Every structure is written in structure tokens, then in C-alpha cells.
Amino acid sequence: MNLAHWLQRTAALYPDQAAIAHGADIWCNYAELAHSAQRVARWLRARGLAPGDRVALWMTNRPEYLALLWGTWWAGLVAVPTNAKLHPREVAWIAGHSGSRIVLCGASDAAALQIVLRQGGDDAAAPSPAEVVSDLSFVRGAAPAPLAIAPRAETDAAWLFYTSGTTGRPKGVTLAARQLRWMTMAYLATVQPVAPGDACLHPAPLSHGGGLYHLPYVLQGGVNVVPQSGGFDAEECLALAAHWRNASFFAAPTIVRRLTETARRSGRRPVGLATIVYGGAPMYLADIEDALAVIGPHFAQIYGQGECPMTITVLPRHVINDPAQPRYRERVASVGFAQPMVEVSVRDTRGRELPAGESGEVCVRGGVVMEGYWNDLAATQAAIRDGWLHTGDVGYLDADGFLTLLDRSKDLIISGGSNIYPREVEEALLAHPAVAEASVIGRPDREWGEVVVAYVVAREPVTAEQLDAHCLTCIARFKRPKHYCFVDELPKNNYGKVLKTELRSLDARGAA
């Protein structure tokens, strides 16, 4: 079934409900969104695109984004939402690799992209024939003559999700209606139900995981709110929650930290919030405890990855808000339990399932796991083995099924033959009041193999000796950082994740 049937259904049920808002203003209702989708679908069809063809979207969050996405689906096409912060050369590569026929983009970026595309991109193996379109005026206008939704199968590609490509070229995770539907059902079943009029704010890029969260709101007649700033601004976000009420949004842990700081400065609890769903990177215990105290009982956590979109495990609000539970702190430090449509298992390097308490690679199997990587059979076979998606994350399950993540396997530090999970050291450092942010990496070392190096953003003056003394009070001696580097900020991608690969190369340059 084509996902566009959801929009058609909602437009029939709740034609006058606000569908997309731009800041505090309603941009369109559901009847208008269905019309826009049909206008977009007609426009794409008129350019000769046929079901299954790809259309790239390269723009910051704006209200047209969702109309373009639904129009693409209405026509039976495959959307390729592309990170707005990428360089035109990277976009050209993605357009070429996905075989996108059109790149829909913002006016300011079109010229640079056209130049790169005319030169054939930066990879002769993937020349892009894409047409660049930045005049998006066809999205809005009079109601079009009705257009039938193009038939699509459950496993036909709908969304190609290019990974950030920290190791080599990005890979195009192929998501079909099946994964998007399961992911939506998981949200409604385990994060929260959605009623007509409930709001989903979009401070995070629509091209990434946060964008997937708009789906349950379209299905249920909620309003998707694109901030006027087009991105994350803590004050704007809290003001939009107060305006729209019952407002939820996805936030990476760094964003949660900034919201907490803003709410603390304002001296009062934010109003209008339903749920802030955090995930995408480790949430440190100190940070979630702080956020709960300052913002209130509005948090749920998800753990997923592009390959299993937003839907491996969930830590629901009722668990996070139950401090009377005897194992409360362990649970809040975990990423929760398996979502209903997946099995989660922890395996050793030979693929054998490990018992509770033993750490190994987190593997997942079920309807929400990707179809595969677009045009990359070798990478698909490396990621999905014996029917299990190998996530590259290391963790352990407890006897009740709660999963605790230790780290990405490639971030593990082996020093003097002992395994050290950076996250544990980061948790310890963050418990010191002077530490605002910390990221821990391994630095190659002749004697030890690797030594632990901590990059620290301090909120008040503090010395390496003081942090060392603090670490001695909470972690094993051999896990303590051997070196501290105090920095003003940590390198992050535009989803707020610390880029450890970049930190390691910075460190290598510094050490050299």
C-alpha cells in the first residue's frame, strides 16, 4: 500500500484540522495538504517521472518540505531527503548514486549544485543527470483535479536515507512503506498515542530521524510545526510548545541539554509539552536527571539507527517517571526494551547469542529492519547476516530485557589489554559540576596500545588534577583519562552528535 493513502484518509476525516504550521501560523490544513500533494505529484509526472523514480530533497526545514514529500509518494516516487548541510559535491554524489532525476532545493543552493552537476559531480562512477529545481511555487495554488494515488507494494522503496558516511561513502538505507508503517505503529504503541490537533515540532532536520516522526501525526490528524528559524532555537521551541500545546518533538541529547539550560535560566517549567523523545546518541544519566528536574516528566527515549529507523528499543515515559522502581537508575541509564515488532539479541563475534549480563554486538531482526542498502549488495550482506541486522553497537541485556549500550564497537578503547568503554568515562566526568560536556577517545600508544584521552568543555575553571581525583572516586583506576584536553566546543554533526572520528584525527594532529 502506498503511504499516501494515510494522507488521503486523514484529509477525508479531518479536512479542516491544521496539517502544517510555520511557527505559530497555520500553513495548510489537511484538505489543502492533500491538494498540494496532488499538485506536486502532477508536476513530477508531467516531467516524465514514473513510479519508482527517485526525487532528492535538499533544503532546510520549511513547510513545503512535507508537501513535497507527500507529493512524491502520491506519484509513487521514492524520496531521497538529503542533509541540508552537505556540500554541493556530496549532494551531487548522493543524487548520482540514488539516480535521482530531480533535486528539489532552496533557491540559495541551486546555483552551486548546478555547477557541480554540470562538472559531473566528484565521482565519475556516479555521474548525476539530475535537474535542479528551486522554484517551488507549484506546491501551492488552486485545488487540482483529483489524481489517483499510484499503487506501491509494501516493500517498494519509499525513502532513501543516506547515512552520514563517517567511514567512506554514505550508504542509502532503503526504507519501504513497511518500515515506515511499523515505525509509526511503534510510536503510537510505545511512545504515545496521537489525537487530532496534537503537535509535533520539527527543530531537528526533517531529512533525518526526526523527520520520520511526522508520520504518526499525519496518520492521526496532528499538526506538524516547522519553526520559523528552520532549526533548533531553545526559546523558540519552548514558545511553540506553549502556543500549540500537547507538543512533542525529537531531540538529540545535546539539544535536551540546551533546552534544560534555557528552561533553568527562565526560572519556570515549560508549558504545553507532551513528550520530548530523545535518542540518536548516548544520554548521560546526569543529563537526564537534570532535564527531569528542570523541565519535568516529559521524556521518552528511543534507540534506533537509519537501518532500523527509530525503532529498536524504547524507554517509555512511565519507566523514566517511576523513581520508586528498585532498579530505576539502571533502567534510566539503559535504552529500554525491544519494540514490539523486533527481536533484539546480543551476540558474540561468532554470531552466538549471549546470555543476560554479557556484552556483545546488538543485533535486531523484524519488520522494521531496512530492505537493504540501495545498489550495494556487499554492504547489505555485511550488515544483515543470518537475518539479523548487526548494528555495530556494543551492549548487554538484563534479565528483564532492558538493553544498556556501552558504545559503538569502533569507539571501544583497548588499553593494556583491557576494554574501556568511553561512555562510562564520559558519564563519570559529567558527574563533576565543572564539566559541561565530555568526549573520550583512545590515542594510539606504544606502551599501552591505546591510552584514554578526555576532551572536556568546562563550565567553570577546573584542572586535570581535580578531574583525575574525581574519576578516582567513581571508576576503576585503569579507566581514568591519561590526558585531558580542554576545548571550547566538541566537533558535532548537525544532528548534535559528537564526531568521534573527527575528534580522533584532531587528536592525532595535536599529538603529532
Residues binding ligand AMP (CB under 6 A): 163-164, 209, 279-282, 301, 303-306, 335, 391, 393, 405, 408
Sheet holding 223-226, edge to edge: 25-29, 18-22, 223-226, 199-201, 247-251, 273-278, 299-305, 308-315, 337-338
> Looking at beta carbons only, is 22 or 408 nearer to ligand AMP?
408
CB of 242 to ligand AMP, least distance (A): 27
CB of 54 to ligand AMP, least distance (A): 20
> Looking at beta carbons only, is 63 or 304 nearer to ligand AMP?
304
> Looking at beta carbons only, is 211 or 279 nearer to ligand AMP?
279
Question: How does strand 247-251 pair with strand 308-315?
Answer: unpaired
CB of 283 to ligand AMP, least distance (A): 6
CB of 423 to ligand AMP, least distance (A): 8
Quote the crossing angle between the two packed helices 64-74 and 30-46, to the nearest 10°: 60
CB of 252 to ligand AMP, least distance (A): 9
Number of helical (H) and strand (E) elements in the chain, helices listed first: 17, 26
CB of 281 to ligand AMP, least distance (A): 5
Q: Which DSSP symbol is given to 478?
A: G
> Looking at beta carbons only, is 134 or 164 nearer to ligand AMP?
164
- Report which of 171, 205, 157 is spatially closest to residue 94, judged by C-alpha positions: 171
> Looking at beta carbons only, is 247 or 405 nearer to ligand AMP?
405
Q: Report, in angstroms and rounded to the nearest whole number, the Rg of the chain calculated over CA atoms.
A: 23
Residues forming beta bridges with residue 407, ordered by sequence position: 394
> Looking at beta carbons only, is 131 or 502 nearer to ligand AMP?
502
Q: Other C-beta atoms within 10 Å of 140: how many?
A: 16
Q: Which DSSP symbol is given to 488?
A: S
> Looking at beta carbons only, is 134 or 163 nearer to ligand AMP?
163
CA 139 vs CA 27, 64, 459, 505: distances in Å:
12, 7, 46, 44
Question: How does strand 372-373 pair with strand 172-176?
Answer: antiparallel
Three-state DSSP class for residue 203: coil
CB of 499 to ligand AMP, least distance (A): 11
CB of 452 to ligand AMP, least distance (A): 20
> Looking at beta carbons only, is 305 or 380 nearer to ligand AMP?
305
> Looking at beta carbons only, is 96 or 282 nearer to ligand AMP?
282
CB 225 within 8 A of CB 240: yes
What is the identity of the amino acid at 290?
Answer: D
Helices of type H across 119-206:
177-186
Q: How many CA atoms are closer than 13 Å to the CA of 420, on its beta-carbon side? A: 30
CB of 128 to ligand AMP, least distance (A): 23
> Looking at beta carbons only, is 114 or 391 nearer to ligand AMP?
391
Residue nearest to ligand AMP (CB): 305
- Report which of 171, 173, 175 is spatially closest to residue 158, judged by C-alpha positions: 175
C-alpha cell at 6: 494515510
> Looking at beta carbons only, is 163 or 501 nearer to ligand AMP?
163
CB of 180 to ligand AMP, least distance (A): 15
Judged on CB neighbours under 10 Å (0-12, 13-18, 19+), 510 is: exposed
CA 120 vs CA 81, 90, 94, 111, 165: distances in Å:
21, 12, 12, 14, 21
CB of 306 to ligand AMP, least distance (A): 4
CA distance 58 to 373: 20
